Structure 1
């Protein structure tokens, strides 16, 4: 394993393997006291550090803006920042430390995409940048997130083999035999210090059941994803029987108890439910929701035990620090106190060893995204796209429509109109007037979604638009308009979609479900039984966002990445001119009157 940080002598890893995935505990050792003189049991200390949703961030760098990352809160990102905090905490730790990650690691930045798409590690054999970076930190385990499955199982499996530590996912099972497809858990033998008996820490990894929807094309017929709560209930007692003194869950699922998809799959965000319903868990590191939750305690309903929980935000902006004080009680370990906090990585500099490990790959990615692909006749911005029709979204729809329409030629669907759904997209994207680079196009469509096509009826198109229109608050006819407060804050803007190929009005004075007051083509109302081919990304088509009517068998699915299609179209044309694609086909109205912004 390539590493710039020496392995902690206090930890003796006993990692799982596919053939023998579990480690049995040795007999507990009593603390040796002085003969004939009772003494108070000493207190030992364990620190568990945790990251989640790193999403391909190693350097503190914004590849779309081509400069150091910064946001309105002055957060920093990247494994290199995390490493500095981890090294500081390890150096001053009172006892032992463990380092875990709760998933979504190999997708999310042009750096990660480059080594999955442009120079895939499955072709070159090169070590993935996230393997290089995380091996320097010497993690103890990583949980697979849903985005680990984005690039297919061959790339995922190769990345796992490149890691110097286990990758866990107890609830990802073989579709053929129901057995765990990845390592379910490990039990780490931890040395807490001089004269301390060995502490055995069980670490169970749980991935997100939504993979079955979001990456159906990569996992259907190969993997199934069981309920996270039920899976924990299965494995936690097993870990205890095999000698785990302390049990940690590393779960790629938030704590809201809700799902973005329908009820056909197990809960997407059940971290708190796991704590409530499964006895024997001491703490849960969780992710997926990209929230910062420094410390939360959830009582187990069966035992009353308080389960410590923490979520460390996203992209390496925060590091969770869990602290456990432990004593021996009648030959067994007992937790006397536990607490958690999140630490901000903007307080430290980047670790030079991590930077060095990934430098050449980072530089190659920067050079790639700065290639000029076309010239734009004017500046195009997505800043107002959430409340008015903009040419830059028409660009997405033009490319998607042309691609699917060409594929339908000669098929039974050739005579059906082709509509397109633009979703989701970056609200901060800009095509500058003049040279447009790969980073500009990639900055518009920041996800690795592929393009698909399905057939919808007019009624289903209307229902889809009505669902999307929930995004807006209801405004009375005489209420003032504030563009900063026009949307419902409880609905994320990535769940607001726009369609091309039909003309429609969204009347935000109307109640939800009755807002599409005009739906026409060339001035003629769209009939409920009309049929359309609809170009849509694989995330939406698979059920992401729980939009109605879209989860259907595809009539087009060439596994073409939308972002690359946008880049290819610009390169082929050489120019981006709104006159080639801009069509104002939708508007917000109030009591039938168009809203002027």
Structure 2
């Protein structure tokens, strides 16, 4: 429905309500007088999504089937659209706003296809395709969306192309143009809601993105944009949103509530600062939280300056959930004031996909299915990544081998050609699987679900040892004699799988009975103890090379080479060139978990 149509509907409802009140006045003057003395109240609803990551439909492009997980979650905007329609029908479309907290255009092969294969940033613009996420979100009538850090994975030009295709503003008050020192995107928008027999209610939506972009996508934004802190920038812009007439202020923030910062002190701004912002910055009524892929139905933070509660909610990710904020406002002393706000999350697996949204992106969906089902080679046996957090498995060795081969070829003939090349890899996707027999593009793509590119860094043996000690923090301590509980063994301190790095090209034990910092044992290169003074080339993804995960030494190490091609594509090309995937060619048995020197697994 267009804005004009929505205004018309709201206006028609107001006229109808006015006629009903007029009838009441004429029938009971005393009651009408009492109602005039009673403060005017109004209710409205704000719906929010976050971290949808290219999921337009309930589909898994890595398996080419409907999405399925152990928790019976469903994904995609088509599911969310049904929930949104139901709520608009329940409370009245004129009382509903729909917003997003970022990470929209990266994460599936659907979104990748329209960034790289048939890019929306292609010229001339008139011949570029429409992004399926823009098609879906426009049809769902989003009112605003904050930018997420993954919006910048494909470069600023792709973000701008997506912005031009959206019928709603992309907000980022803390994304600053490096040349003008002004916001590079709109900081906020003020939406006007029509109130029967009362003044308009103005709802301000302030958007903030993650300052970690300066590290994670340094190559795409350096010299062009800077990213300030979230509470710091909110303190500047919340008063401006109020000055622009907003009666209610909602922040859409691509930042978790209070998680530890993954990049350490490399930049002076916290990664997950929504809670701190709510506590420190007066004038905020609610926060739609993003970035951490968690479900937080409602969290109340009391503002330190005003003593007023601020309601925070995070609707998980991928379209699993939809946040619903329900507001009540009262007109007091010539101004609207929030008298109540509650939040909850709704599960998208309770509804069917909206057929209109599904039909709207059907052509794009079909194109991507054709792309991911291309045959690229064969595999001699089934290779699974399921055991990768506990054991060295060939499928992760394959990632390391591809990266090492690529860097060796790139450095051939140069001054560093004779140095040994090691490679970093991680279990990015616990469901990745290469089947025996025919291997399709989607099978290989599932090994590397991020848009990382490859770099080569110069490291010493001592630095490699430190690097491995850091990655061994992924494991909880396992006392001597204690039973092995794999559910409690990994992800210590909330460390995600993608921050558990293996180093391909060396062998080592990780003793999980030892304290952090003393776990790497028997570290060897080519059978001999690793020489701490020796030089090595580390093939590493750009996220890690730029400081993602705050691993020691690698961000400051000398850069020898870098590629602009995604590692995923490098893996696909390697498989195509070889024709056959045979673990005999790359399986390394490079590491193992031990306890007091005794292997945990045979």
Q: Which residue of 1 aligns with 2:15?
A: none
Q: 1:347 to 1:5 in 2, by over 3 A?
A: farther
State the alpha-carbon separation in 1 of the partners of residues 489 and 562 from structure 2: 36
What is the 5 A alignment of 1:338-417?
338-417=341-420
State the alpha-carbon separation in 2 of the partners of residues 467 and 217 from structure 1: 25
Q: Which residue of 2 aligns with 1:102?
A: 101
**Which SS does the other structure have where 2:51 is aligned?**
coil
Q: 1:477 to 1:336 in 2, by over 3 A?
A: closer
TM-superposed deviation, 1:36: 7.2
Whether the 8 Å CA contact 2:491–2:497 is kept in 1: the answer is no
TM-superposed deviation, 1:505: 1.4
State the alpha-carbon separation in 2 of the partners of residues 402 and 480 from structure 1: 40
Whether the 8 Å CA contact 1:59–1:80 is kept in 2: the answer is yes
Q: Which residue of 2 aligns with 1:518?
A: 522
Whether the 8 Å CA contact 2:396–2:427 is kept in 1: the answer is no
State the alpha-carbon separation in 1 of the partners of residues 143 and 518 from structure 2: 53
State the alpha-carbon separation in 1 of the partners of residues 548 and 446 from structure 2: 21
> Are 2:601 and 1:596 aligned?
yes
Whether the 8 Å CA contact 2:396–2:426 is kept in 1: the answer is no
The range that moved more, 51-60 or 64-73, is: 64-73
> Are 2:226 and 1:224 aligned?
yes
Q: Which residue of 2 aligns with 1:119?
A: 118
State the alpha-carbon separation in 2 of the partners of residues 332 and 170 from structure 1: 26
Whether the 8 Å CA contact 1:169–1:184 is kept in 2: the answer is yes
**Which SS does the other structure have where 2:252 is aligned?**
strand
Residue in structure 2 matching 1:334, options 333, 337, 342: 337
State the alpha-carbon separation in 1 of the partners of residues 490 and 290 from structure 2: 26
Q: Which residue of 1 aligns with 2:540?
A: 536
Q: Which residue of 1 aligns with 2:154?
A: 151
Q: Give the TM-score normalised by the residue count of structure 2.
A: 0.93
* Structure 2 unaligned residues grouped into runs of 5+: 11-20
Q: 1:220 to 1:171 in 2, by over 3 A?
A: same
Aligned residues: 576
State the alpha-carbon separation in 2 of the partners of residues 364 and 97 from structure 1: 34
Whether the 8 Å CA contact 1:5–1:136 is kept in 2: the answer is no
TM-superposed deviation, 1:398: 0.8
> Are 2:576 and 1:571 aligned?
yes
State the alpha-carbon separation in 1 of the partners of residues 118 and 209 from structure 2: 27
State the alpha-carbon separation in 2 of the partners of residues 336 and 589 from structure 1: 58
Q: Which residue of 2 aligns with 1:497?
A: 501
- C-alpha distance after superposition, 1:473-531 (max 9, x if no partner): 22233333233332244322222111111121111222110111111112222222211
Residue in structure 2 matching 1:93, options 63, 87, 91: 91
Q: Which residue of 2 aligns with 1:260?
A: 262
Q: 1:138 to 1:7 in 2, by over 3 A?
A: farther
Whether the 8 Å CA contact 1:450–1:562 is kept in 2: the answer is yes
State the alpha-carbon separation in 2 of the partners of residues 40 and 585 from structure 1: 75
Q: Give the TM-score normalised by the residue count of structure 1.
A: 0.93
Whether the 8 Å CA contact 2:473–2:492 is kept in 1: the answer is no
What is the 5 A alignment of 1:417-456?
417-456=420-459
Q: Which residue of 1 aligns with 2:14?
A: none
* Structure 1 unaligned residues grouped into runs of 5+: 13-30
- C-alpha distance after superposition, 1:398-432 (max 9, x if no partner): 11001001111122211111000002521221111
Whether the 8 Å CA contact 2:40–2:198 is kept in 1: the answer is no
Residue in structure 1 matching 2:288, options 285, 288, 293: 285
State the alpha-carbon separation in 1 of the partners of residues 487 and 45 from structure 2: 43
Q: 1:217 to 1:107 in 2, by over 3 A?
A: same
Whether the 8 Å CA contact 1:11–1:191 is kept in 2: the answer is no
**Which SS does the other structure have where 1:362 is aligned?**
helix
